[in-house]
Amino acid sequence: MSYSLQLKDLWPSVRASLLCEQKYGALLNNFSAHSHVTQELELMNATDFVSKGSKEAQQSAATSPPLHASISSNIKCYTYPRGDITRFRPARRDCLGLLEYYLMDAASLLPVLALNVQRDDLVLDLCAAPGGKTLALLQTGLCGHLAANDVSISRTKRLYDILHSYVPKEIRETVSVTSHDGRDWEQLEGGTFHKVLVDVPCTTDRHSVMEEENNIFHKRRTKERQMLPMLQLQLLMAGILATKPGGEVVYSTCSLSSLQNECVVERAVDIAETQFNISVHVEDLSYFRTLFKDTFSFFSDCRLGELVLPHLTANFGPMYFCKLRRV
Ligand SMILES: C[S@@+](CC[C@H](N)C(=O)[O-])C[C@H]1O[C@@H](n2cnc3c(N)ncnc32)[C@H](O)[C@@H]1O
């Protein structure tokens, strides 16, 4: 009922897509010796949507701001064309035991691309487990240091597993994994990071439409669900406070809910200004819609940030992401 009010005529199509099998992207592991994989994927008609978007950005160099500045060309993620529901085979290990690619919702890469990591940036991934976006951050090859945190110890174990399966030891040593409550981060290490990713717990809509057991929309979990925007706001505030002046934060969810998306961002900007005297600028990411229109379906009516809507021909998302700059 809530989403039909928010998305209006689009909701029946989004709902049908959520009930159908989701599409994956194959995030190439730059640390593995995978010379034949790209050939194999391209023979199967898959393309790297990141480099395609990045090329398009370079061609439109006259645009302001220059689009190419915001896309990391080191990240490579293959997807099949719109309407093609071919599935990727499971990844194989190379001679060093590293897996050649990581299968993930390709829309999950957009918050990482929006973060636009630059060489030697100190990066914090505040809610990192199980680690898909942490792995993508490492694929840029640019992080000076990466702090990956998640309050859940069991989920942090999955993050370690991913690091061991995809990342060589010398790179793993540049990552510090912790299990703190992200809301307390300021007391540990405030104002130190160039880039902070705040990928918060949310109603995980795609998962929730299918889940019978322990569904976040179950009556039993009403209180927890109603408290989610508060938890999200506290985590985003912690992310803003962890950022150096001039640094950037990307907030993301995999929910369609504007209460968990734009409303949380609006509230955080307001609290930063009024309670902490910190001015925060919401960056324009609308060029993502232009660059990646062939791969994803974007919602055109977000007040702030961008939202990928699941679509039967491009069944990725939902994924909301919004970028804030601490002025
Ligand atoms: C959407 S998931 C993160 C997914 C992850 N970024 C990825 O790409 O694989 C949200 C995570 O937030 C964690 N979380 C929940 N409350 C938290 C808190 N107070 N502090 C830090 N992490 C928290 C959950 O354990 C969960 O792993």
CATH number at residue 196: 3.40.50.150
d(CA 99, CA 213) in angstroms, rounded, equals 32
Pocket flag, ligand 1, residue 152 (CB < 6 Å): yes
Please report the pLDDT score of residue 259 as a whole number: 97
Do residues 322 and 282 touch, judged by C-beta distance below 8 A?
yes
Please report the pLDDT score of residue 64 as a whole number: 57
Among 127, 138, 208, which is best to mutate for testing ligand 1, by the most ligand atoms less than 8 A from CB? 127
Residue 34 in domain: no
The closest alpha carbon to 246, from 196, 187, 288, belongs to 196
What number is the average pLDDT over the span 63-90? 82
Residue 251 in domain: yes
* Domain assignment of residue 180, given as a range: 107-326
Q: Is 8 left (phi over 0), alpha (psi -120 to 50) or beta?
A: left
Structural domains counted in the chain: 1
pLDDT over 90 percentage in the chain:
86
Pocket flag, ligand 1, residue 310 (CB < 6 Å): no
- In the chain, helix, strand, coil percent, each to 5? 40, 20, 40
Residue 124 in domain: yes
User: For 296-317, what is each residue's pLDDT tens digit?
Assistant: 999 999 999 999 999 999 999 9
The b/e string for 12-38 (b: 16+ C-beta within 10 A; e otherwise) is: eebbebbeeebbbbbbbbbbbebeebb
Q: What is the DSSP letter of 59?
A: H
Q: Is 246 left (phi over 0), alpha (psi -120 to 50) or beta?
A: left
How far away, in angstroms, is 108 Cα from ligand 1 center?
14
How far away, in angstroms, is 156 Cα from ligand 1 center?
9
d(CA 80, CA 67) in angstroms, rounded, equals 24
123 confidence band (pLDDT: 50, 70, 90):
very high
Residue 41 in domain: no
How far away, in angstroms, is 40 Cα from ligand 1 center?
34
Residue 43 in domain: no
Residue 90 in domain: no
Is 247's pLDDT higher than 60?
A: yes
The closest alpha carbon to 105, from 127, 149, 136, 62, belongs to 136
Do residues 316 and 105 touch, judged by C-beta distance below 8 A?
yes
Active site residue 254: yes
d(CA 108, CA 132) in angstroms, rounded, equals 8
User: For 95-121, what is each residue's pLDDT tens digit?
Assistant: 999 999 999 999 999 999 999 999 999
How far away, in angstroms, is 235 Cα from ligand 1 center?
10
Do residues 196 and 122 touch, judged by C-beta distance below 8 A?
no
Output the CA torsion sign for 155, 211, 197, 171: positive
55 confidence band (pLDDT: 50, 70, 90):
confident
The closest alpha carbon to 196, from 148, 231, 150, belongs to 148
User: For 60-73, what is each residue's pLDDT tens digit?
Assistant: 766 555 554 567 77
Pocket flag, ligand 1, residue 129 (CB < 6 Å): yes
Pocket flag, ligand 1, residue 237 (CB < 6 Å): no
Please report the pLDDT score of residue 60 as a whole number: 73
Please report the pLDDT score of residue 58 as a whole number: 78
Residue 233 in domain: yes
Please report the pLDDT score of residue 56 as a whole number: 79
Residue 7 in domain: no
Please report the pLDDT score of residue 186 as a whole number: 77
